[in-house]
A and B are shown apart, each in its own frame.
Chain A
Amino acid sequence: MITELAQLLINGILAGALLAVPAIGFTAIYAVLRFPNFAVASHATIGAYAGYIANVNFGLPAWMSLFAAFLVAGVFGVVSDEIVLRRLRASGPLTVAIASVALTIVLENVVRFSFGNDLLGYDLPVLRDWRASGLRIGPQQVYNALAAAAAMAALFLFLAFTRTGKMMRAVADNPMLAGLKGIDALTVARLANFAGMGLAGFGGMLIGLDTSIDPQTGFRVMLSIFAAAVVGGLGSIPGAVIGAFVVGIGEELSLIVLDPSYRTAIGFVAILVVLSFRPRGILGERAY
């Protein structure tokens, strides 16, 4: 029983690390642009497919393909925001949110049109699971979690120490003051879209590395991503990380009492429970 519990905890931590990456992307865009961008789902899928092309068609190793996933999803994020969402921002956050749902459907179908509905798998070396005292861990899972940790560390360093990172935080904290200081809101919005959607793509590929990918890869984890961001507090990056671990571990522990197919419902339950007690999430909005 103890071993079983420990195994679920380990799985939960590994899953939470993967979930944290797109959740950070989602929450970062919310922090700067103040609307829930539902298009993270399609961008996670786009990242997963970009990584697939780099990995399978160009023969790059998985860790290098992750950069392709980040870059392509980030560029898609900026371009689709420029074309579709930017000019709708004046109509209010709800209009943009609804448009982003439409955008995610359009982009998902672009992927479906190009690749079909079949499941695709990455080219990965076959590795034997590590076993110790009844516990089992797949090396690939650990590498994925490490990649996720590296991406998060890079983002924290970027936000904490670079000039651009500080600009982004300033706009997120108080757009009007940032404007007075001469920070160009549009540049920061583009950066937030690039970094946020890039992270969504990075996370989409990490999740795909665990299993396989298809046009619904992003959509299937969307609820968990939102749950992580909302549980931690929309707009808070440390909150998204905490929320991702809460949701990841919660989803695994739910296996003790629930059928595995209900795993994604845990995110929804987590949202309801946390919001009932703390309507702005564990850390609250705008916490850094």
Chain B
Amino acid sequence: MANYLPAMAAFAGFYALMALGLNLIFGLAGMVNLGLVGFFAIGAYVSALLTVSLHWPMLAGWAVAALFSAACGAVVAVITARLKGDYLAIVTLGFAEVIRLIASNELWLTGGTTGISAIPGPWRGEVSPFAFNLIFAAIVWITVCIVGLLFGRLSNAPFGRVLRAIREDEMIAAVAGKPVLAFKVQAFALGAGVLGLAGALYAHYNAYIAPDGFQPLITIYVVLALTAGGTGTMRGAILGAILVMFLTEGTRFLGAAMAGLKPVQIAAVREGLIGATLILVLYIRPQGILPERPRTLNLEPR
């Protein structure tokens, strides 16, 4: 049980990082990304391969994972630049599935469905498992804070204003002289980089990754986190991630209460509840708990 709390904190941090990444892409720039688990997987695999096969130091693995994922994001953004929302939803969903296919099938690189194991973690084995969990949770949350502050600044900077303008009306932003494509690609790449970084951290925390760990359900978790917290605000993204963590873990205890059911049925109830919660949130509070405030210029004399 003592191990459980820091582990929960670490996972909440992974979700928070992903929600921040999605917030930049979808919340600010308005580009749907239903394939975010694909970027998460890319980051995880890149860092795992660099550190396990090539014995790179962990920090280098994390940095390259984030950069590589950002590059993939830029490519996806360029290719899909002309697509409108619903097409983009389909293409990004397909992207994540293709990443999972590659992870399952390129045995020489990814180990196929067996995955990659013995991924190093900071001080793993040198300290007690509890201390390891605690250290890692701290690393994850420091990263969350840095990214959150950075993105918060970015969101208030002219960069963020342009992204919101693009979200509201791409054509007006273009007429105002903003290079829309360049902004979209930058936003997508930055967001994808953070998604990749989250994946890299996850790989080193878990010590083991396999294609099964990158199901589309994770995308739903993160979309739920962002929607519940408040699309467009960084604080909302983080708050939403913590709530999703409580929800997924809470349903675990629910599973213990449903003693008469088979394991597969309990798993089905848990997954189903997550989906149902997202629908409920969309109903009850689509703007989220910490909604984005419209920024208006007050021209009234004081």
Interface residues of A (CB under 8 A from B): 30, 35-36, 38, 84, 87-88, 91, 93-95, 97-99, 101-106, 109-110, 112-113, 116-117, 223, 226-227, 230, 234, 259, 261-262, 264-265, 267-268, 271-272, 275-276, 279
Q: Is the CB of B89 within 8 A of A116?
A: no
11 A-B residue pairs with Cβ-Cβ distance under 8 Å, sorted by A, are A97-B32, A99-B279, A101-B34, A102-B278, A106-B272, A113-B265, A223-B94, A226-B90, A227-B94, A264-B97, A268-B95
B215 shortest CB reach to chain A, Å: 10
Interface positions of B from 60 to 109, Cβ below 8 Å from A: 79, 82-83, 85-87, 89-91, 93-95, 97-98, 101, 104-105
Indicate if B269 sits at the interface (CB-CB under 8 A).
yes
A103 to B277, CA, bound (A): 10
Q: Is the CB of A109 within 8 A of B268?
A: yes
* Complex interface: chain A residues within 8 A of B276 (CB): 102, 106
Residue of B nearest to A36 (CB): B86
Interface residue total, chain B, C-beta cutoff 8 A: 41
B15 shortest CB reach to chain A, Å: 16
Q: Is the CB of A98 within 8 A of B79?
A: no
Query: Which of B94, B101, B220, B264 meets A101, CB within 8 Å?
Result: B220
Apart from A36-B89, A97-B89, what are 5 other A-B pairs with CB-CB below 8 Å?
A35-B86, A36-B90, A99-B279, A109-B271, A271-B91
Q: Which of A112, A117, A227 has the most CB of B within 10 A?
A: A112
* Complex interface: chain B residues within 8 A of A94 (CB): 32, 85-86, 89
* Complex interface: chain B residues within 8 A of A104 (CB): 275
Take A116-B262, A117-B264, A259-B105 as given contacts and tell me if A109 and B286 are in contact as well, using a CB distance cutoff of 8 Å.
no
Indicate if B140 sits at the interface (CB-CB under 8 A).
no
Interface SS majority for chain A: helix
Indicate if B150 sits at the interface (CB-CB under 8 A).
no
A230 to B79, CA, bound (A): 16
* Complex interface: chain B residues within 8 A of A105 (CB): 217, 220, 271-272, 274-275
Take A36-B90, A98-B223, A99-B282 as given contacts and tell me if A279 and B269 are in contact as well, using a CB distance cutoff of 8 Å.
no
Residue of B nearest to A91 (CB): B286
Q: Is the CB of B264 within 8 A of A106?
A: no
A203 shortest CB reach to chain B, Å: 18
* Complex interface: chain A residues within 8 A of B282 (CB): 88, 91, 95, 98-99, 102
